[in-house]
Amino acid sequence: MSIGVGEATLSPCAMSIISDSFPPEKRSRPIAVYTMALSVGAGFASLLGAGVLTWAKSGGSITLPGVGELVPWQATFLIVGLPGLILSALFFLLREPPRSGGVAAYGGSLPDMLKHVLGRWRMYGGFVSVFCFMTIVAYSQGWGAALFERTWGWEASYYASINGVVLIVCGPTAVLSAGWLCDRWIAQGKRDAAMKIALFGVLVTVLTGALFPMMPSAPLAMGVYALNNMGIGMTSAMGVTALLRIAPGAIKAQTVALYYMCISMAGLFLGPTAVALLNDHVFGVEGIRYSMAVIPVVFGVPVLLGMRNIMSAYDRGIAEHEGLT
């Protein structure tokens, strides 16, 4: 719970600082670099998990002075947590940038933010559906180890090592490319570039997400899965960039916080749970490939069908935001 509290404060504050530190036409790449940390962290976590699984099978443990004996899972938390204490000290050296945009129109309180969002529920509802789809698919892939084990016979430790490499390579490639392209398009006057790139990522995610569990072999499945990660990365990288084009400056961090709350709850509640329910009640334990293939289609096709309305509402939101600032 304490980790959750710490994580919950990070992204809204970080995105607000990044937004105020860069002009709109140069904002996408810094946000992409920040977002890249998710893929890099998940990749290294997967690699570390593979090592822990191998270590646990050997019955290994370590003993630290003043701590005592640690079994593999305990040592893992210590290894992952200690660098954070060092990195957190660096944030005391950061200065708060000047707040930009829309201060006069909104006072910056929680009721102001809720009034703004609820008064434009069609725009924000369509907007958040795009990124809820992304997290639902991403979190559903927590079943990846079970999929590759039950379908193609891969051990969990082997899957974790390959998955770690895929995440480290494909995630940063996708988010940095999306950030570069978005900045370029915005500089050319394409104000809704971030949303267009995000929706293209949704299309890639739907197609590859439905295909990779159905591949005839594990190497082919992992190859298509890598493309799927790139689609997820493109959409993920554009979320806050797109949001900051329509969120007033005085309620920027709170709007970003609400955005993260919505997509996190959707992903955690619907992603893994939907796969589990389909396994238990529709396709059976050994039919996990069908459960995972269905998820992107069920949650992604409605978003694709609504693309035109989503983009129209978003363009109106940009026009309103620019009128305020």
The pLDDT score that the predictor gives to residue 321 is: 79
- pLDDT greater at residue 288 or residue 95: 288
Record the pTM. Answer: 0.82
Residue 259 lies in a domain: yes
Residue 90 lies in a domain: no
Residue 104 lies in a domain: no
- At 148-189, the pLDDT tens digits run 999 999 998 889 889 888 988 888 899 889 988 998 998 888
Residue 177 lies in a domain: yes
Residue 271 pLDDT > 90, yes or no?
yes
Residue 86 lies in a domain: no
Residue 142 lies in a domain: yes
Q: Please write down the HEC assignment for all residues of the chain.
A: CHHHHHHHHHHHHHHHHHHHHCCHHHCHHHHHHHHHHHHHHHHHHHHHHHHHHHHHHCCCCEEECCCEEECHHHHHHHHHHHHHHHHHHHHHHCCCCCCCCCCCCCCCCHHHHHHHHHCCHHHHHHHHHHHHHHHHHHHHHHHHHHHHHHHHCCCHHHHHHHHHHHHHHHHHHHHHHHHHHHHHHHHCCCCCHHHHHHHHHHHHHHHHHHHHHHCCCHHHHHHHHHHHHHHHHHHHHHHHHHHCCCCCHHHHHHHHHHHHHHHHHHHHHHHHHHHHHHHHHHHCHHHHHHHHHHHHHHHHHHHHHCHHHHHHHHHHHHHHHHHHC
At 217, which CATH number?
A: 1.20.1250.20
Split into its structural domains, the chain has a count of 1
Quote the domain boundaries for residue 13: 2-81+109-324
- pLDDT greater at residue 170 or residue 324: 170
Residue 100 lies in a domain: no
Residue 68 lies in a domain: yes
- At 13-27, the pLDDT tens digits run 777 788 788 877 777
